[in-house]
Each structure stands twice: as structure tokens, then as C-alpha cells.
């Protein structure tokens, strides 16, 4: 084995020992891999949304930068790693500047392995290098077609975030290795908030807490935290408490057990702890009680918000005053106008059972809400091979059935992690999977977002579908 090969193998083994599988994935067919880098944000970092009024969101995490790389045979003695850098929230101008800095670091360290130096720069120094400061302004994508056309031309080469970039060269040409993985017309704010929420949950899951009911010390993974008051109890105690209350019909009393505390559990927290049958009863009774007692008030379905929303009479659309999420008050997903409420494959069987056991009045309500065709399908079909053939495609590498819910046409197999094209089912390279859509000779040239309906983007960010 040559000195270059030994150095490459040692470097890859070192990266695998330092970073877990979620951060570093080594390629199987080549000397390379993929590194996901979460930048270290300062305490109190905020996102700023401009509009009729300024809105700020506290965030602790932003989606990672993704570095895909392959090591040439003469690395590190002569050649630099071949790489692409992609992001959901940085502009291509900013990523081009980062690529230029990575090239400079290689020139400074030529002859030595450089991947760890790159990683340290991107994780610890990228924000300062780009002069990204709090609050970071998020550009809201206009909903009105006329307004969207007015701003669309100016957003084609920019991401959905604007930051102070005084240190970037205005004459800097865009680097082909800098990849923007989100359509600039997409509202990026829900993705940023949902990612931050998920990462906060991971941190909570790894900590230990003492349950205020059984006084047992347990990891956060086995605990429930009430969002308003931040009181923590173990899931075992809260599951039993919720089940008793729901069976007794006290769906308005799923509050924090702390004396004199009025914090309520969110529907998503209830669904996490009780079975599908009890949650369906809870959801039905809660909806009915809301209609009976406060017909003009619902709650934002996003887990990180849950703000009370006033609804106009005789309408099923709610617009959250806090996060501006427009949703259907019946199914709690993105607002879909006059179209019937959509159901996922996992919900179809429960929908069939609920319809069969419902009263005549209840059946009429369900037919109006979901449409007769959906109800008939739920009752008649067996939810097996027919559904898979209609909604899924097989991974070209391992054959696992994959369903495309949202996003671009670059897919990742949930089983073998192979990248592939949703349109032609061709396998994509790990180093630069987007070259398939950028190559003029490719059958899928310029079709990365083919089939994505921008008008229905909001429907992708419903917490019920996450």
C-alpha cells in the first residue's frame, strides 16, 4: 500500500472514530463519504421575520452543511479532495466563498491530510468568516402570484435567508461545487423551526430528570415535558393518567399534574403516549367540545407553536397569528381550499374502522370531510400491494419500497442509504448526487424540482405529517 493510500485510510478511520454515523457516512465503493456539519450558534441566536410586524424566534440549531467528498489516488501528496458543499439556508454566494476558503486551506496544508481542518473551519469559524450574526433575517416568500413574480427574478440565485455579507467579494463567480438544495421559491422558515425543534428534543432525550409522580430518575427519552411550564414527568405515569382521563371523557383536563399548574398537553404529546384507538376518541371529543364551547377558536397544529387561532364562521381555514401557518381546522394540515381533507396510508385502516362503527350522522360528516371516494377506498381496499404499487417506487439498489412525500427528486433509500433519482430510478453518486440534474446529457436535466407543486408547499410542513 502506498503512502497516499495509508494516509487516506488513516484519515477515514479517524473521522469514523470521532463522529457518529449520523454525522459521517463513509462511501462503500470509493475512498470518500459524506459529513454533516451543524454550525455552533452563539447563545441567544435569533431568526428575524420581516412583515407587518417583526417576529423573532429563538433557535439553538440550524440545518447542517453537507460536505460530500472523494479522495483522488494522489491525495494528500499532490491533489486536493474532490468535493461539493450543500446547504438549505446559505446562499450560493456564501457557499462559494466557503469553497474558496477550503481551497486556500488546502494550499496552506498541501501534502498533509486536510479533511479535519476543513471540518473544524466549517463548524467553528464559518459563521464568523461569513459575518453571520443574530438576528438572522428570513425572507418570507410572497403568497400572492403577482408579488411572487415581482420578487422571483431577484431570488433565483439567492437562498431564502439574507445576512450581512460585507466580507464577500461582489465579483465572486458562483462555484459549481456550491449546491443549493432548496428551491428559492420555497418558504424556508418552517424547515428551520422544525429542525431546531427536533434537535432540541434530542438534547432533552439525553438528559436525566426526576419524575414528579413516581420520583424515579429517568432519561428525557422516557419523559414528557409540558411546553408552557417546562415541568417534566415520566411517560409511564403520564400515559396512565392520560388514558384514564380520555376513557372518562375528560379531554379538556389533560393538564400538568403539578398543583395549581394549568399547562395543557398538546395533541401531539397525547398521540405519542396513548394508542390509536384512544387518540381517535380524544381527537373526536376534543373537536366536538371545541365546536360546542368555542366554535371560533382552534390551536395552531405546529408543535413549536400551538397558538390559539380565531376562525371566521363557516370556514375551515385558520391562520396562526404567531407563525403565519395557514391550516385546515378539520385535519390540521396545510390549508387545501375546497378540496377534501387528505389522509395518509397509515390512517386509512383506522378511517375505515371509524366509518364502519360511526352513526348515520357521523358517516355523513366523514363523507363530507374526506369525500365519498376516499371513504369507499378505505372500506374496500386491503391496504397492501395495490397501495404500494400506486404510491411507492423500489430502491434501484436494494428494492426497498420508498414513498416520496415532499421535496426534490434526489431521494435517499431509508434502508441502504443509496441516493437515487425519483424520476428515472438511476443511482446517484454520493460525492455529487446533483450532477445528474445538472448534466445536459442526463434525461433528468434541470428536473430536480420536477413535479413539486409550489402552491401546496405549506402542506409539507404540517406536524401531523412530519
Percent of the chain with pLDDT over 90: 23
Mean pLDDT calculated for residue range 308-336:
86
How many Å apart are CA 429 and CA 37, to the nearest integer? 20
For residue 62, what is the domain's CATH number?
3.10.110.10
Q: Is the pLDDT confidence value at 339 over 90?
A: no
How much is the pLDDT for 381? Answer: 59
Give the pairing type, strands 208-210 and 410-412: unpaired
341 found inside a domain:
no
**Averaged over 384-406, what is the pLDDT?**
81
Q: Are residues 245 and 172 in the same domain?
A: no
Gap between the Cα atoms of 258 and 227, Å rounded: 13
Instruction: State the average pLDDT over residues 178-202.
Output: 83
Name the domain boundary from 273, 295, 317: 295
Residues recorded for the chain? 466
Find the CATH number of the domain harbouring 258: 3.30.40.10
Catalytic residues: 408
How many domains in the chain? Answer: 4
pTM over 0.95: no
H or E element, residue 436: helix 435-438
My answer on whether 217 and 176 are in the same domain is: no
For cell 408579488, what's the residue? 147
461 versus 190: the higher-pLDDT residue is 190
Gap between the Cα atoms of 276 and 188, Å rounded? 32
pLDDT computed for residue 309 by the predictor: 85
Shared domain check, 123 and 94:
yes
- Determine the structural domain holding residue 61 and report its residue range: 3-183
Q: What is the pLDDT of residue 30?
A: 79
Indicate if the pLDDT at residue 254 is higher than 90: no
Average pLDDT, the chain: 81
Domain contains 331: no
pLDDT exceeds 70 at position 151: no
Same domain membership, residue 121 and residue 80: yes
52 in any annotated domain: yes
Using the 3D structure, point to which of 332, 358, 380 is the last residue of a domain.
380
Q: Check pLDDT > 70 for residue 88.
A: yes
CB atoms within 10 A of CB 176: 14
64-87 pLDDT per residue, tens: 999 999 999 899 899 999 999 998
Residue 125 shares a structural domain with residue 213: no
Q: What pLDDT sits at residue 291?
A: 55
In a domain, 309, yes or no: no
Residue with cell 487516506: 8
Last residue of a domain, one of 319, 354, 380: 380
Same domain, 108 and 9: yes
Q: Do 367 and 410 sit in the same domain of this protein?
A: no
Which element (helix H / strand E) includes 136? strand 136-138
161 and 138 in a common domain: yes
Amino acid at each position: 500500500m502506498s503512502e497516499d493510500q495509508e494516509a487516506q485510510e488513516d484519515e477515514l478511520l479517524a473521522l469514523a472514530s470521532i463522529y457518529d454515523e449520523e454525522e459521517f457516512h463513509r462511501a462503500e465503493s470509493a475512498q470518500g463519504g459524506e459529513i454533516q456539519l451543524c454550525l455552533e450558534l452563539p447563545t441567544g441566536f435569533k431568526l428575524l421575520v420581516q412583515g407587518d410586524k417583526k417576529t423573532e424566534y429563538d433557535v439553538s440549531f440550524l440545518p447542517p452543511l453537507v460536505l460530500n467528498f472523494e479522495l483522488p489516488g494522489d491525495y494528500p501528496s499532490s491533489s486536493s479532495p474532490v468535493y461539493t458543499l450543500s446547504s438549505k439556508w446559505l446562499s450560493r454566494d456564501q457557499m462559494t466563498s466557503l469553497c474558496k476558503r477550503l481551497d486556500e486551506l488546502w494550499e496552506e496544508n498541501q501534502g498533509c491530510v486536510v479533511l479535519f481542518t476543513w471540518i473544524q473551519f466549517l463548524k467553528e469559524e464559518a459563521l464568523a468568516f461569513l459575518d453571520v450574526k443574530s438576528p438572522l433575517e428570513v425572507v418570507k416568500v410572497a403568497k400572492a402570484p403577482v408579488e411572487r413574480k415581482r420578487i422571483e427574478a431577484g431570488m433565483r440565485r439567492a437562498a431564502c435567508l439574507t445576512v450581512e455579507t460585507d466580507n464577500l467579494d461582489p465579483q465572486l463567480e458562483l462555484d459549481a461545487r456550491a449546491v443549493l438544495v432548496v428551491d428559492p421559491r420555497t418558504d424556508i422558515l418552517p424547515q428551520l423551526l422544525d429542525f431546531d425543534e427536533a434537535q432540541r428534543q434530542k438534547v432533552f432525550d439525553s438528559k436525566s430528570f426526576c419524575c414528579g409522580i413516581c420520583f424515579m430518575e429517568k432519561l428525557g427519552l422516557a419523559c414528557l415535558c409540558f411546553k408552557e411550564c417546562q415541568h417534566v414527568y415520566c411517560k409511564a405515569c403520564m400515559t396512565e393518567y392520560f388514558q384514564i382521563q380520555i376513557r372518562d371523557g375528560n379531554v379538556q383536563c389533560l393538564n400538568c399534574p403539578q398543583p395549581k399548574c394549568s399547562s395543557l398537553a398538546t395533541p401531539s404529546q397525547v398521540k405519542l403516549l396513548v394508542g390509536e384507538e384512544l387518540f381517535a376518541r380524544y381527537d373526536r371529543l376534543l373537536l366536538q367540545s371545541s365546536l360546542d364551547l368555542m366554535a371560533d377558536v382552534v390551536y395552531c397544529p405546529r408543535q413549536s407553536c400551538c397558538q390559539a387561532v380565531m376562525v371566521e364562521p363557516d370556514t375551515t381555514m385558520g391562520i396562526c397569528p404567531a407563525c403565519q401557518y395557514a391550516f385546515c381546522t378539520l385535519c390540521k394540515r396545510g390549508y387545501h381550499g375546497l378540496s377534501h381533507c387528505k389522509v395518509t396510508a397509515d390512517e386509512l385502516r383506522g378511517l375505515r374502522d371509524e366509518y364502519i362503527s360511526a352513526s348515520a350522522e357521523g358517516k355523513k360528516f366523514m363523507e363530507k370531510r374526506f369525500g365519498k371516494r376516499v371513504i369507499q377506498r378505505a372500506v374496500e381496499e386491503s391496504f397492501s400491494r395495490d397501495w404500494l404499487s400506486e404510491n411507492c417506487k423500489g430502491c434501484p439498489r436494494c428494492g426497498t419500497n420508498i414513498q416520496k412525500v415532499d421535496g426534490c427528486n434526489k431521494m435517499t433509500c431509508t434502508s441502504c442509504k443509496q441516493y437515487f433519482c425519483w424520476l428515472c430510478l438511476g443511482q446517484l453518486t454520493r460525492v455529487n448526487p446533483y450532477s445528474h440534474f445538472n448534466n445536459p446529457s442526463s434525461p433528468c436535466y434541470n428536473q430536480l424540482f420536477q413535479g413539486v407543486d409550489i402552491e401546496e408547499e405549506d402542506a409539507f410542513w404540517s406536524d401531523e405529517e412530519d
